[in-house]
Amino acid sequence: MNIVVLIKQVPGTDNVKMDPETGVMIRSGKDTIINPLDENALAEAVRIKNSRDDVKLTAISMGPESAMKALKEAVAMGADAGVLLSGRAFAGSDTIATAKALAAAIKKLGPVDLVICGERATDGETGQTGAMIANNLDIPVQTYVSALEVKEDGVVVKRTVEGGFERVEVPFPVLVTVNKDINEPGFPTLNGKLRAKQVTIPVWGPEELGVDKSELGLGGSPTRVVKVFSPKLSRDTIMKKADGSTKPVDELIKFLTEKEAL
């Protein structure tokens, strides 16, 4: 059984920076982490791997060379191998171009039974990439998964939906996006860290994927960030000092009445 887990390295919540000229997120900072929901995806993939004898687990990430750290961490957590998609051709990819590249990488690995990824990434919050990858692979997708059970020929998932849950059985191959309720991510073991130091993680570019450069990066991204700016909040503050009379209260009531707040 072949499982692929997709992980993304994202800036720390307080360290998100955008290029005001291109509208592209700056990802060269050192303060980066694995996307939290991708940690849940990785933990679930490792759980499945440890429960069976026939599983190969490969982690894939797309990003700058610094994303190699995230893949090493995935191996330390229990993944068998990792693949990094990196190069200038990928820079500025939107969700469409990203999904195309990741789908090509999954195809290159050969027949894959199960693809697991986080529901969304903290740096974009779109929740689109997983479903787009499934579309490119022409396989079914199950989103908002909070529980996952592997059967001989498929999976049974519990989906969080409005007003409750859905229980769905889907045959292999299938892609699932998980939410934070599926598990509690653990920590790498000492043996895992030692193995991560020794593992060689290949770096693939457009040539290895067999994807034309024009379909990747900014050139292959039909969506654009038109403008990046910090919102400015300006309020006129009116101070009324209590003087022992009812005048300040009367003025407040008058103000709220004018604003139709009463």
pLDDT at 223: 85
Summarize pLDDT for 173-202 with one digit per residue, the tens: 999 999 999 999 999 989 999 999 999 999
pLDDT at 139: 97
Q: How many domains does the chain have?
A: 1
Alpha helices in the chain (DSSP H): 36-51, 68-77, 95-108, 129-137, 190-198, 206-209, 247-258
- 248 within some domain: no
- 233 within some domain: no
pLDDT at 229: 66
Whether residue 29 has pLDDT greater than 60 = no
* CATH number of 75's domain: 3.40.50.620
Whether residue 205 has pLDDT greater than 80 = yes
- 12 within some domain: yes
Of 74, 22, 71, 87, which is closest to residue 45 (Cα–Cα)? Answer: 74
| CB-based contacts of 127, cutoff 8 Å, min separation 6 | 119, 120, 143, 177
Average pLDDT, the chain: 89
- 228 within some domain: no
Q: Comparing 41 with 22, which gets the higher pLDDT?
A: 41
Contact assessment for residue 143 and residue 182, using Cβ atoms and an 8 Å cutoff = no
Burial of 164 (0-12, 13-18, 19+ CB in 10 A): exposed
- 226 within some domain: no
Q: Comparing 230 with 123, which gets the higher pLDDT?
A: 123
- 59 within some domain: yes
Whether residue 1 has pLDDT greater than 70 = yes
Contact assessment for residue 129 and residue 101, using Cβ atoms and an 8 Å cutoff = no
The string of DSSP letters for 138-179 reads: T--EEEEEEEEEE-SSEEEEEEEETTEEEEEEEESSEEEEE-
| CB-based contacts of 85, cutoff 8 Å, min separation 6 | 60, 61, 62, 63, 101, 102, 105, 203, 204, 205, 209
Span 198-225, mean pLDDT? 92
Whether residue 133 has pLDDT greater than 60 = yes
Whether residue 224 has pLDDT greater than 80 = no
Q: Alpha-carbon Rg of the chain, whole angstroms?
A: 24
- 250 within some domain: no
Q: Which domain holds residue 197?
A: 2-220
- 151 within some domain: yes
